[in-house]
């Protein structure tokens, strides 16, 4: 399974749609907020299934703030991260991840791409898909394992 990870699009729908059409073989995309409406617009334009959460720029938080689910034997938590103060570190998010029993946490908010392991859990932030450098990531799931590739253009 090939999954596009994006966050903090801040209305940059055009480049996200272009990326999805250019790559052409994603099974799903995760959108970690700012904004949830961007995620639904990308889904509508591409037909690609999504898992998405609201972020701090969503005035009314129209989407969920947290999504917990399993794919191919791996348990995920998606969140924007602002409610867990990720700008100050991952401690609060790690506590939530522990309570939810997840393997991989995908988040945004900081606009800084990262891939960190804490307490045997992987924390992935694809960075911001907006501005001079659009960063994103590709997560591949296979036989209960996950590989992540950070990318930008």
Query: Cα separation of 82 and 94, whole Å?
Result: 14
Contact 20, 129 (CB under 8 A): no
Contact 90, 116 (CB under 8 A): yes
Q: What average pLDDT does the segment 124-151 reach?
A: 95
Q: Beta strand pairing status for 74-79 and 104-106? A: parallel
Percent above pLDDT 70 for the chain = 100
Query: Cα separation of 15 and 96, whole Å?
Result: 32
* Predicted local confidence at residue 59, as pLDDT: 76
pLDDT band at 24 (very low <50, low <70, confident <90, very high): confident
* Predicted local confidence at residue 3, as pLDDT: 98
| Structural domain spans, the chain | 2-152
According to DSSP H, which parts of 34-137 are helical?
Answer: 36-46, 91-100
Q: Which of 68, 69, 9, 75 is nearest to 42 (CA)?
A: 9
pTM, entire model:
0.95
State whether the Cα torsion 24-26-28-30 is positive or negative.
negative
pLDDT tens digits, one per residue of 86-123: 999 999 999 999 999 999 999 999 999 999 999 899 99
Q: Which CATH superfamily is domain 2-152 in?
A: Metallo-dependent phosphatases (3.60.21.10)
């Amino acid at each position: 399974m090939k999954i596009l990870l994006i966050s903090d699009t801040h209305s940059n729908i055009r480049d996200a749609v272009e990326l999805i059409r250019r790559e052409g073989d994603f099974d799903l995309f995760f959108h970690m907020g700012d904004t949830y409406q961007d995620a639904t617009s990308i889904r509508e334009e591409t037909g690609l299934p999504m898992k998405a959460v609201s972020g701090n720029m969503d005035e009314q938080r129209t989407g969920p703030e947290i999504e917990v689910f399993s794919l191919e034997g791996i348990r995920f938590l998606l969140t924007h991260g602002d409610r867990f103060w990720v700008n100050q570190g991952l401690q609060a998010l790690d506590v939530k991840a522990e309570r939810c029993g997840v393997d991989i946490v995908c988040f945004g908010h900081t606009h800084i791409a990262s891939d960190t392991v804490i307490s045997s859990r992987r924390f992935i932030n694809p960075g911001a898909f907006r501005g001079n450098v659009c960063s994103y990531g590709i997560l591949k799931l296979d036989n209960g394992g996950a590989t992540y590739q950070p990318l930008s253009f």
